[in-house]
Each structure stands twice: as structure tokens, then as C-alpha cells.
Amino acid sequence: MAPPLYIAIRFITSRKRSLFFSMIGVVCGVAFFICTQAQTRGFEKYFIETVLGSSGAIVLSDRFQPRYTQFENIDTSGLVAGNQQSRKYYDGITDPYRIIRVARSFSNVLGAAPVVRGNSSANSSFQTEIVRLEGIDLRYHLEATSLKDQIIFGNIDEFRLHPYAIMLGSLLADKLQLKVGDTLTLAGKDPKAENKTFTVAAIFRSGVNVVDENRAYLHIKTAQSILGKPSDASIIIFRLRDPQRAPQLAEQFERLFNHRARSWQEREQGNLQIFSTLRVSAAITVSLIILLAGFGIFNVLTLTVLDKLREIAILRSMGYHRSDIRSIFLWQGFIIALFGSILGCAFGGLLTYGISLIPLRIRGIIYTDHFIVDWSWEHYVYGSLIAFVAVLIATYFPARRAASVPPVDILRGAGQ
């Protein structure tokens, strides 16, 4: 063991009370950092998973045709093409299965499903509601979404086998007071046409309120007939291996297919910004706690340097270098940061677990009955990293001061 490390350990363990107070700040700072990040990130991840599971990472919708305006004299350097962003949109997607076949050649695409969308009036024996109908090709839809996992009542095979089966969002089923096996009628687009009767095959819960209280799934052909949609699909939803890369792929899809493509990040920008703001705000608050712990350590070590002036002079008189003295104090900071981080990570993990057990009923943009936490190793690494930076900065100045102490001044003073 290097002599400065050995001396640092002996110095630090001989002052147990100072060590305790220095370390407790780091432990609490790291633990609170982990805990707050686990909560904010947990809710954010749950929201993202829910969004991806219900609406896909990318949604391809209306076809467009770029409209090029005349060349305009923009600047003196020459003529450039004018507003290329101007587009003419055509409702829906024709030949969605060909697009899906091409899109599947992209390594990031795990699944794609065509959807026919439209609104209709649903009548149960008790209630009438406007519902958002989604006509799906079940085989494709199960590959592209988490629908199978979202079923809370009924059986997806019942839906598969019957052309006039329907799946309702849990909140919509509540509003219409329907359960699995009940029937409802849907009004077609043509007011003269007869209403069609559907049997509730399953009830699903996506976790997103707006989906669960409005959405109903039918077979795609049935939906086309009811909604009178001429196009083969209104949208195609894509499931990706790496959803984080959705914006880049959406851009590629737009260029390739000439259809509007929106990533989940673009669609949910508002909600994501709220989560991101909360996370940054929590991180700043807790980093301030760690910074305060750093100030505490700075004070303790500054007092230690003053307290150990004589020892520093003795060590210098015995041949210890200035760098050895600096190392002794830096090692003390390192030891506090190391053990503070380890204990902080353990305490943070325990706190996070405890919080995940707290009952919390949320029925808003997400659906949960308890605190949602995220068990990400990154929170532990970042918490420890912040602690190390704060502690080592707090240690550096007292260490530098200790190294610059002229031993002769101390010895001369102590001898008188």
C-alpha cells in the first residue's frame, strides 16, 4: 500500500465523528439522486412503453406530393429552388402491404401493421358514445403492438375467429356498461345503411387514458366497410428494435414512401418535455444536496488541515514530498466518496424499492396503482459520479493548502 494511502486511512479512521458527518452527506445525496431519478425516469419509461405498445414507434399516414414553386431570387449568390416543404396530402395509404414489405427490410423494424381509422357512434343498451374505431389486421397488429398483453378481459382468439367481434378500451367499456360477450351496434358512414351489431370479444387496457376511453378495435375489412374508407389503410404503425432512433427512420420513410411519417418523440413531444423537465429539476435539486455535502467535506478537511499542520510538518521533515501530503488529503476525499457512494447506492436502492411499494392511484396520461420506478444502473453511476466530482473538488483545495505548508514555519512555531 502506498504510504500516502496508508496514512490517509489512519487519519480518517481516527476521526470517526468527522468521517461520519462527511460521509452521511454523500450517502444521502447519492441515495436521493438515485431515488428521484428512479421515480421520474420510471414514470417516463412507463409512459413511453405504453405509447409504443399502443401506437407504435413510427406512424406512417397520408401520402403527399411535394409542390415545387417557381425559382425565386433568394440572395445575390444565385437562383435556388423555393419552398420545397410545401406538400399536397392525399388521405390514407394505398397498398400498405407493399410498404410494409419494403419497410421490413430495415434492420430496425421489428413489426408493422396497417390500421384503418375513423369515428363512429356506438350504442349499447344503456349508452351511446362516439368511439374511435381502428380496423386492424390482427396478425400484423400483434407483431407491431403490445395489444396481446393489454387484454384484461376476454380472449383475443374470440376476436380472431369472428368478423363482427370488437375489442373495447377498458374505460370505454365502463362508459358503455359493457362486458365480454355483450353486444353493441355501430353506425355506418352511410346514414341510410343498417347499423351493424358487434359482440365484445375482449376488453383491453393500454394505460393511456385517451386510448382506453375512446378506442375500439375491429377487423380491418369490417372497419373499411363501416367507415366507408376507400383507401386500404389510414396509417401504418411500426415497432422498432431501437425506438430511440425513430426520428431518423421516420425521416427516411418520408423520403422513401412519400407518406407523412411521425416518430413517437414527435407525437408525444409535449408529455416528454414535462417528464424531461421534472427529471432535470430533480437532478439539479439533488445535485445541490451533494454539493452541500461537498461543502461540508471541504469544511471538515480544511479544519483537518489546520488540525494536522504539525503532523504535515513532521511528515515533511521525515522526507515526505509535497505530492505525498497532497495525496494524503486527496485519498481521504476519495475514501469518503468511495464509501459514501457505495453506501449511497445501497441506501438509494432500498429507498427506491420502498417507494415502489407505495400505493398511488393515477388515472391520467398513464394508468397505475403504485409508484413506478426504473431500476437503471445509470442512476447509480451518475449519482456516484456527481458525488466523486463534488467531493474531489471539495478535497482538492485543502489538499493543495496542506502541500504548500512550509514545515519550518510550523516546527519553529511549535518549538517556541
Partner 1 sequence: MSHVIEPCLVCENLEKYLGEDENRVHVLRGVSLTLEPGLVHAVVGPSGCGKSSLLYILGLLDNPDEGSLRIGSHQVATLQDEDLSDTRNELLGFIFQFHFLLQDFTAGENVMIPMRRLGNLTIPEMQERAVSLLEAVGLGSKATRPSRHLSGGEQQRVAIARSLANNPNVILADEPTGNLDTANSERVFSLLTKLVRENAKALLLVTHNPEIAERCDWVHEMRDGLIIESRPGSNIS
CA angle 367, 369, 374 (to 5 degrees): 80
**Partners of 130 in beta bridges:** 121
φ, ψ dihedrals at 373, nearest 5°: -125, 155
Beta-carbon count within 10 A of 56 CB: 28
Sole window of 35-43, 235-243, 309-317, 327-335 interacting with partner 1 (rule: CB under 8 A): 309-317
**Partners of 197 in beta bridges:** 185
Beta-carbon count within 10 A of 245 CB: 13
Give yes or no for residue 3 binding partner 1 (CB under 8 A): yes
Number of residues that bind partner 1 (CB under 8 A): 26
Give min distance, CB of 25 to partner 1, in A.
23
Residue type, 80: V
Q: Considering only residues 79, 88, 412, 413, which one is a binding residue for partner 1 as defined by CB under 8 A? A: 412
Give yes or no for residue 317 binding partner 1 (CB under 8 A): yes
Q: Considering only residues 110, 324, 362, 393, which one is a binding residue for partner 1 as defined by CB under 8 A? A: 324
**Partners of 134 in beta bridges:** 117, 217
Give yes or no for residue 315 binding partner 1 (CB under 8 A): yes
Q: Considering only residues 191, 319, 359, 364, which one is a binding residue for partner 1 as defined by CB under 8 A? A: 319
Q: Considering only residues 117, 196, 310, 400, which one is a binding residue for partner 1 as defined by CB under 8 A? A: 310
3-state secondary structure of 168: strand
Give how far the C-alpha of residue 201 lies from the chain's centroid of Cα atoms, to the nearest Å: 33
3-state secondary structure of 177: coil
Give min distance, CB of 372 to partner 1, in A.
49
Give min distance, CB of 311 to partner 1, in A.
6
Pairwise CA distance, residues 7 & 320, whole Å: 11
Give min distance, CB of 5 to partner 1, in A.
10
Give yes or no for residue 33 binding partner 1 (CB under 8 A): no
Give yes or no for residue 20 binding partner 1 (CB under 8 A): no
Closest CA to 119 of 235, 260, 233, 228: 228
Do residues 134 and 120 make contact, with C-beta atoms less than 8 angstroms apart? no
Strands 165-169 and 78-80: unpaired
Sole window of 76-84, 109-117, 380-388, 408-416 interacting with partner 1 (rule: CB under 8 A): 408-416
Give how far the C-alpha of residue 272 lies from the chain's centroid of Cα atoms, to the nearest Å: 8
Give min distance, CB of 7 to partner 1, in A.
8
Sole window of 82-90, 107-115, 255-263, 319-327 interacting with partner 1 (rule: CB under 8 A): 319-327
Q: Considering only residues 110, 314, 362, 389, which one is a binding residue for partner 1 as defined by CB under 8 A? A: 314
Sole window of 9-17, 202-210, 272-280, 383-391 interacting with partner 1 (rule: CB under 8 A): 9-17
Give yes or no for residue 415 binding partner 1 (CB under 8 A): yes
Pairwise CA distance, residues 116 & 229, whole Å: 8
> Which of 279/310 has CB closer to partner 1?
310
> Which of 175/401 has CB closer to partner 1?
401
Give min distance, CB of 14 to partner 1, in A.
4
Closest CA to 336 of 304, 297, 306, 303: 297
Give yes or no for residue 408 binding partner 1 (CB under 8 A): yes
> Which of 6/20 has CB closer to partner 1?
6
> Which of 315/345 has CB closer to partner 1?
315
Closest CA to 242 of 263, 259, 256: 263
Q: Considering only residues 264, 320, 329, 388, which one is a binding residue for partner 1 as defined by CB under 8 A? A: 320
φ, ψ dihedrals at 122, nearest 5°: -105, 135
Pairwise CA distance, residues 360 & 336, whole Å: 36
Residues that bind partner 1 (CB under 8 A): 3, 6-7, 10-11, 14, 310-311, 313-324, 407-408, 411-412, 414-415
